[in-house]
Amino acid sequence: MIRDLVSALDYSMFAELALALFVVAFATMTYGTLRLSKNASDRFASIPLSDDVEDPRP
């Protein structure tokens, strides 16, 4: 069945479909990332600076 399904597809559109898929995923991720709070972002960015556990954790 999948063979029939794929046979019916127009391959010339695959590049455009792939691009659209990426744009949607990229836009979603970028939008969401930009909404990450500065506090959280700074905290996460500093994780590698200390090899010790901060306790109590923020």
Partner 1 sequence: MATGTPTNGPGDAALSSDSGTEEVRLEQFQYDDGIVRLFATATIVWGIVATLVGLIVAVLLVLPSITGGLPWFSFARLRPLHTNAAIFAFAGNGIFAAVYYSTQRLCKARMWSDVLSRMHFWGWQLVIVSAAITLPLGITQSREYAELEWPIDILIAVVWLFIFGGNFLMTLIKRRERHMYVALWFYIATIVTVALLHVFNNLVIPAGWFKGYSIYAGVQDAFMQWWYGHNAVAFFLTTPFLGLMYYFLPKAAERPVFSYKLSIIHFWSLVFIYIWAGPHHLHYTALPEWASTIGMLFSLMLWMPSWGGMINGLLTLRGAWHKVAADPVLKFFVVGVTFYGMSTFEGPMLSIKSINAFTHYTDWTIAHVHAGALGWNGFMVFGMLYWMLPRLFQTKMWSEKLVSLHFWTGTIGILLYIIPIYAAGLMQGWMWRAMDDTGHLMYPDFIETTQSIVPLWWLRVVGGVLYVSGMLMLGLNAMMTWMGRPAEYENPVHTAPRLSKSYVDHTPTPTSPIDDAPVLELGKKVSIWSQMGWHRRWERLPVRFTVFTTIAVVVATLFEVIPTFLIRSNVPTIATVKPYTPLELAGRHIFVSEGCYNCHSQMIRPIVSETKRYGEYSKPGEFIYDRPFQWGSRRIGPDLAREGGKQSSFWHWTHFENPENVSPGSVMPAYGHLLTEDMNYDAIAPHVKVAAYLGAEYTEEDLNNTAEVAYKQAEYIAADIVAQGGPAKAYEKQAIALIAYLQRVGVDLFATEEPAATEEPAAPEAVEGEEAETTEEVADGDFTPEASSEDAAAK
By CB under 8 A, name the binding residues for partner 1: 2-3, 6-7, 9, 11-12, 14-15, 17-19, 21-22, 25-26, 28-36, 40-49, 51-53, 55, 57
19's tokens = 């691009």
CB of 40 to partner 1, least distance (A): 7
Give the shortest CB-29-to-partner 1 separation in angstroms.
Answer: 5
Cα–Cα dist 6/22, whole Å: 21
Q: If you search the block for the tokens 């905290």, which residue do you land on?
A: 43
Minimum distance, C-beta of residue 56 to partner 1, in the bound complex (Å):
9
Q: Per the structure block, which two tokens stand in for 55?
A: 């306790």
